[in-house]
Amino acid sequence: MRLLIVEDNVELSRLVASGLMAAGYAADIVGNVMEARDALRSVNYAAMILDLGLPDGDGLSVLSELRRKADPLPVLVLTARNGLQDRVSGLRTGADDYLAKPFALEELVARLEAILRRPGQLLGASLNLGNLVFDTESRQVFIDGEPRVLSARETSVLEILLRRQGRVVPKKNVEDHIFGLAGEVASNAVEVYVSRLRKQLAEFGAKTVIHTIRGVGYMMAEEK
């Protein structure tokens, strides 16, 4: 699951990204309002961690723009502004949660997970299809109750396909979920990881199938 961190303190943003990666998330980092807008236009993120005091403006402007467009992206505000009116303003603008600096990384991860578990958001306790179970907290895959090991990127492909099982997932969405703003990506990178995932799941005896919808994307379903 890919997240966007909007924070101009380079050391802090790297610390947060490292903690999120340890918890099983992928994260892109941007340092100002303009970069945040560009990133949100380019990538389908699962959630955003948003600082307010940015060099080129107020982070609340980014949040306000999202909500005016009825974009439900979960947003955790992370800021040094800790006054009552600051918190009220952030929540009323559309933040899903508000965490003041300084903070414990463990609490940030827990709050983020709580946001993503809410009805209508992306994170359930587990994702099930056929005889396959994906534990979203441990990021462990079980087939017929037995734990199976996939690479990090194979797991990312599995996750996005499971979350939209029975529906076509555009190739671009899969690419964003795996690579985010990582830079130049080989044109066949998504196909390679989907192929590896198919092979692994077949070897493990998973009763699932990944359909390729040529020119569009992929769909995961239970094997009939």
Specify the pLDDT at position 128: 87
What's the mean pLDDT in 90-103? 89
| pLDDT band (50, 70, 90) for residue 117 | confident
81 versus 153: the higher-pLDDT residue is 153
Say if residue 131 is in the same domain as residue 65.
Answer: no
Say if residue 167 is in the same domain as residue 97.
Answer: no
Say if residue 81 is in the same domain as residue 104.
Answer: yes
Specify the pLDDT at position 125: 59
Say if residue 80 is in the same domain as residue 99.
Answer: yes
What's the mean pLDDT in 13-19? 92
Q: Which of the listed residues 117, 138, 170 is the one where a domain comes to its end? A: 117
Say if residue 9 is in the same domain as residue 110.
Answer: yes
Lowest mean pLDDT across 29-38, 166-175, 198-207, 208-217: 166-175
CATH number (domain holding residue 206): 1.10.10.10
User: What's the total number of domains in the chain?
Assistant: 2
| pLDDT band (50, 70, 90) for residue 164 | confident
Burial zone of 19 (CB within 10 Å; 0-12 exposed, 13-18 middle, 19+ buried): middle
Measured distance CA(44)–CA(176) in Å, rounded: 7
The total number of residues written for the chain in this structure: 224
CATH number (domain holding residue 88): 3.40.50.2300
| pLDDT band (50, 70, 90) for residue 10 | very high
User: Which residues, in sequence order, are bridge partners of residue 47?
Assistant: 3
Give the chain's mean pLDDT.
88
Q: Which of the listed residues 117, 138, 164 is the one where a domain comes to its end? A: 117
State pLDDT tens for residues 125-144: 578 899 999 887 678 899 99
What's the mean pLDDT in 8-23? 90
Query: For every residue of 122-154, which 3-state class applies, written as one string?
Result: CCCCEEEECCEEEECCCCEEEECCEEECCCHHH
Residue 111 reports pLDDT greater than 60: yes
Say if residue 210 is in the same domain as residue 189.
Answer: yes
| Two tokens, residue 179 | 């690579």
What's the mean pLDDT in 178-206? 87
Pairing of strands 132-135, 126-129: antiparallel
Say if residue 37 is in the same domain as residue 138.
Answer: no
Specify the pLDDT at position 192: 94
What's the mean pLDDT in 156-178? 86
Say if residue 131 is in the same domain as residue 74.
Answer: no
Say if residue 111 is in the same domain as residue 146.
Answer: no
Q: Which of the listed residues 74, 96, 117 is the one where a domain comes to its end? A: 117
What's the mean pLDDT in 4-16? 94
State pLDDT tens for residues 73-90: 899 999 888 788 888 888
Q: Domain of 198?
A: 126-222
Say if residue 134 is in the same domain as residue 201.
Answer: yes
Say if residue 45 is in the same domain as residue 94.
Answer: yes
| pLDDT band (50, 70, 90) for residue 114 | confident
Show Cβ contacts of residue 178 under 8 Å, excluding neighbours closer than 6 positions. Answer: 26, 153, 156, 157, 189, 190, 193
Specify the pLDDT at position 154: 94
